[in-house]
Amino acid sequence: MKPVVLLPHPLPPDWISSLDGRVELIVGAEQETGWSANVTESISRADGLLSLLTDRIDEVLLEKMPRLRIVSNMAVGVDNIDVKACTRRGIPVGNTPGAMTDATADLTLSLLLAAARRLPESSRDAREGRWRTWSPTGWLGADLRGATLGIIGLGKIGRAVAERARGFGLRLVYWKPAPSPENEAAAGARYVTFDELMSTSDFVTLHCPLNESTRGLIDEAALRKMKPSAILVNAARGPVVDTPALVRALTENWIRFAALDVTDPEPLPPDHVLYSLPNCFILPHIGSATHGTRKRMAEMACENLLSGLDGRRLPNCVNPEVYS
């Protein structure tokens, strides 16, 4: 008997071909929210689960999955999963670190450049008839060379952002709960306190995981420390920023601009006030959205899944304590 694996959201067959013939795959219907009936009906007999970051894997769900031996998340972040509850049950949780590093760092620089050079606004002006002449003072943006970029979190993605930012002549500072001298040397970034980063950076970019200590990290107090000319970039997780505080910061011009690939909530409803603010630019969580990246993420997720089903250590496991 082949192990039963739930894939609540369909993926292109060539991304998951390593599962062919190895598992009984229950694939959900293409739908935007929730799981389709064929998936929910199979919950109690599932040995493995290949989840997306939009799937909430909590105590209530795990309770209904007595046979579950592996949760493999097709993402580097695992904030959608109650990892402690999985650990208590001895279930390893896999993720896909590294696969999306370059794509997410590229997108971060895209956001930063778009905000610095006012692309959303100037493109809209051109399209809507406000481009009447070449104006020496029109659409003036921020210079990058010599400006300071503050990086919150200096993991793989933070370092990849640093590598790119150096090419633009930005001066780099970073903050994370504990300094990491070897990463720091490689990134060419100087460790500063959180307050110093927020108050001296011309650009602040977030690259920390979402967990209990980073939820709401960028709150009213943090935003009030920023320069009025500063630009905030978030391609990490929406809830790292306190949304109501950000709305106030943008409305009252505490900061100049926010460029967001992630929001809280997600998706951000079409009537959300953030969309109406001229100093905010929002993308629908596309940090890892390149053909090659998403395929690699799916392949890594399949590798973790198959290892878990075979009782082997996962190549990428966020709760290795299950093996001790």
Integer angstrom CA distances of residue 77 from 40, 51, 297, 307 = 24, 12, 12, 20
Contact 288, 5 (CB under 8 A): no
Q: Is 69 a catalytic residue?
A: no
Rounded least distance, CB 75 to ligand GLV, Å: 3
CB of 108 or CB of 148, closer to ligand GLV: 108
Contact 201, 148 (CB under 8 A): yes
Counting residues that bind ligand GLV (by CB under 6 A) gives 7
Q: Is 266 a catalytic residue?
A: yes
Which residue is catalytic, options 266, 291, 312, 321?
266
Among 7, 71, 83, 100, binds ligand GLV (CB under 6 A): 100
- Is residue 75 within the footprint of ligand GLV (CB under 6 A)? yes
Nearest residue to 67 via CA among 39, 91, 47: 47
Q: Interface with ligand GLV by CB under 6 A: which range of 72-80, 84-92, 151-159, 251-259?
A: 72-80
CB of 159 or CB of 225, closer to ligand GLV: 159
Q: Interface with ligand GLV by CB under 6 A: which range of 8-16, 18-26, 75-83, 197-205?
A: 75-83
Let me know how long the chain is.
324
- Is residue 76 within the footprint of ligand GLV (CB under 6 A)? yes
**Torsions phi, psi of 81, nearest 5?**
-115, 135
The first and second tokens of residue 194, run together, are 């959180």
Q: Interface with ligand GLV by CB under 6 A: which range of 69-77, 138-146, 250-258, 305-313?
A: 69-77
Contact 208, 180 (CB under 8 A): no
The first and second tokens of residue 132, run together, are 């009447």
Helices assigned H by DSSP within 117-191: 119-127, 156-167, 181-187
Catalytic site positions? 237, 266, 285
What is the contact surface with ligand GLV in residues (CB under 6 A)? Answer: 53, 75-77, 100, 287-288
